[in-house]
Amino acid sequence: MGYCGEDCKKCNCYIATINDDDNLRVVTAAMWTNLYGHEFNKEDINCLGCEGDGIKCGFCSICEVRACAIEKNLTSCDQCPEKPCEKLAKLGKIDENRAAQA
């Protein structure tokens, strides 16, 4: 489970990495390119989840929510007295856009 509450194991990027599925990487790269307006290719689609060590996709490696939770030594944003916060709200907007594009 990600710091924000998203289930990393349901993310196409995670699934493609775990299953070494290049077809899913291509599909996810195209979807994310369309959704985020940034060019992704299949090499960008590799992630072992936001918690712990290991490879992270571009977004997860720079996620403000992840960085904040790590800085505060939290395992989940639910533990934070500042929840809800602007970082989570912004992430929620990304998720809303992702759902609208699906």
pLDDT score for 101: 47
Check: CB of residue 98 under 8 Å from CB of residue 35.
Answer: yes
Residue 76 tokens read as 């989940």
- Tokens coding 3: 């710091």
Q: Model confidence over 71-95: pLDDT tens digits?
A: 999 988 888 888 888 888 777 655 5
Nearest to 16 by CA among 44, 39, 50: 44
- 10: which 2 tokens? 């349901």
CA distance 1 to 5: 6
Q: Cα separations (Å) of 57 from 8, 28, 82?
A: 11, 12, 27
What's the pLDDT band for 53 if we cut at 50, 70, 90?
confident
- The residues spanned by each domain of the chain are 8-101
